[in-house]
Structure 1
Amino acid sequence: MTSTSTPSGQTAGLRSAYFVSDSTGITAETLGSALLANFPGIRFERHTIPFVDTAAGAQNVVADIERSARDAAPPLVFVTVKSTELLAILSRSTAVIIDLLGGHLRELEAALGSTASEQLGQFHAVGDITRYFARMRAVEYAIEHDDGQSMRALDIADVIIVAPSRCGKTPTTMYLALQYGLLVANYPLTDDDYPSDGLPATVASHADKCFGLTTTPLRLSQVRHERRPNSTYASLAQCTLELRRAEDLYRRNRVPFLNSSTKSVEEMSAVIMQSMRLRS
């Protein structure tokens, strides 16, 4: 394992950092990353685990943490979980638990054996150059593969988002690419894709990477009317038909899917990452 020198002259390897939340994990990851940015000489392997809102979920997190802790320094776990019961379960691990309601840099200094950098604005710096270039590559991939424009290199995609037009494919694709560096393609379902029971031929061989989006007919009609007012494309009848066909297609082919009508792009991304077991 490659090691790097810390600002205090000590040597540190790759340290596991978990961001655990009873919601999307965005707050835990943002605040935790802001704290970690004060230790630019230490490299971190990051894991975001959202929607830990049950005892069983918390116990699974502890098991995951314990596996990563073998023969390595104790992982750091940044927590935004409100339940005292769940916090107590998470605290049973051998990790360093940092409750972000009360966590501060002194705890990190003690855990890492390093003095926090006094340089301002670390969180907004490029930071880990490898992660930065991975995100840029992912954005380029997302642009090339947006709305089925290219089917090249689908074998290396982390996930392929499948949905009727205007269900939120593009913003979700771009968020996953820019925020997490994931290679994401998206494919629009059209009338031509429904004669058979299987997935469209373009993505059928990558069914294990597919994730579907749907919405409500009324919401889809409203969004489409903004693009093409008073068109058949935007009619409530057409939207109802397309969504019913899409959901039937997902179910027949065991493609996981979610309704995007009441969810933010952050929430949808978190659900996709959890469902597809993707890591940033």
Structure 2
Amino acid sequence: MTKQKRTVFYLSDRTGITAETLGHSLLTQFDGIEWETINVPFLDDLEKAKAVLMQINQAAGRDGYRPLVFSTLLKPEILSVIKQANCRVYDFFETFTHPVEEELHQSSVRKAGRSHGVEHHPSYFKRIAAINYVLAHDDGVNPKHLAEADIVLTGVSRSGKTPTCLYLGLQYGIAAANYPLTPDDMPVMRLPDVLENVKSKLFGLTLIPEQLHFIRQERRPDSQYASLAQCQREIQWQESLFRQCNIPYLDTTRISIEEISAIILNRCGLKRRLYG
């Protein structure tokens, strides 16, 4: 069966992060469609809008379907130009702002860039501090400072600790450290000494051996480190360790970084440190 091919545009007069995030979340609910994605940030004058109009019409002619346009454009005159194109526009501000204005009995300021700017200074600096902490405590670096962490992720090499820590710092302002479990730890069924002092902050990441094998093959092809047998031994050992030491852990095999982070916060009772 041939997949339907459609083009989706994310339009914004600033970064486009909001339009893309919300639009993508909606489109993931629809299977069997091959999407071509076009991001147009900083769409802030009429000349740019007219060029995008032409681009949308070209995509409609090529695909045989009108493109989907997700917009967070704030200038009515620019949005008006886009609506002249052969497309279906989903404008997030137009959809939600008026009902909120009615409820609050107040007009919105219609100022671009507020959600991703640095106007909320305490929140911005919390984010920077959290990211700095993550970078300074990656892969077991500075273990004597683990007590300062909000959470310490642990697991074998390439189990997703670093990207998850970075996401926790960037999106939630969480001071996340990570410490690797290595084959040298495997002869005994106990935590490395440095982790015993922060046991209450530990959270384990695991995955199926086949997935770990695939990931490690990309890094060190055909090595002992990447062999399926080695991956099976390490995963079996670490999951037994997690259970014996009562460390909560999560199988991340089929879960995105965003989902992993949200699950960790929920299970550990951690709260977002940003926007407060």
Unaligned runs of 5+ in 2: 1-20, 27-91
- Give the whole-Å Cα distance in 2 for the aligned partners of 1:127 and 1:265: 27
CA distance in 2, matches of 1:256, 1:153: 22
Q: What root-mean-square deviation, in Å, do the aligned CA atoms of Structure 1 and Structure 2 show?
A: 2.5
Partner of 2:247: 255
From 145, 152, 157, the counterpart of 1:160: 152
The answer as to 2:121 corresponding to 1:129 is yes
What is the 5 A alignment of 1:93-242? 104-242=96-234
- 1:106 offset after TM fit, Å? 3.2
Q: How many residues align?
A: 186
Instruction: Quote the offset at 1:103 in angstroms.
Output: 6.8
Matched, 1:273 2:251: no
Following superposition, the deviation at residue 246 of structure 1 comes to 0.5
Q: Is the 8 A contact 1:138 1:181 kept in 2?
A: yes
Between 213-222 and 123-132, the greater mean CA deviation after superposition? 123-132
2:129 corresponds to which letter in structure 1? R
TM-score (norm 2): 0.62
- Per-residue deviation at 1:151? 1.1
Cα deviation for residue 177 of structure 1 reads: 0.3
Q: What's the offset of the Cα at 1:104?
A: 1.8
The alignment-based identity, stated in percent, is 41
Alpha-carbon distance change, 118 to 188 in structure 1, aligned in 2, over 3 angstroms: same
Q: How big is each residue's C-alpha offset from its partner over 1:126-171, in whole Å with a ceiling of 9 and x where there is no partner?
A: 2311111111111111011101011132122111000100010110
Please tell me whether Structure 1 or Structure 2 has the larger radius of gyration of its CA atoms: 2
Residue 110 of structure 1: how far off its partner (Å): 4.5
TM-score by length of 1: 0.62
Contact preservation (8 Å) 1:198, 1:204: no
In 2: Cα distance, 1:130 partner to 1:111 partner: 28
Aligned-partner residue type, residue 135 of structure 1: R
Q: Secondary structure at the match of 1:122?
A: coil
Q: Which residue is equivalent to 2:81?
A: none
Distance 2:271 2:232 in 1: 34
Measure how far apart 1:125 and its partner are: 1.5
| C-alpha separation in 1, matches of 2:190 and 2:104 | 52
Give the drift of 1:211.
0.5
Taking the aligned partners of 1:215 and 1:209, their CA distance within structure 2 comes to 20
Q: 1:158 to 1:106 in 2, by over 3 A?
A: same
Contact 1:260 1:268 survives alignment (8 Å):
yes
In 2, are the aligned partners of 1:160 and 1:186 still within 8 Å (CA)? yes
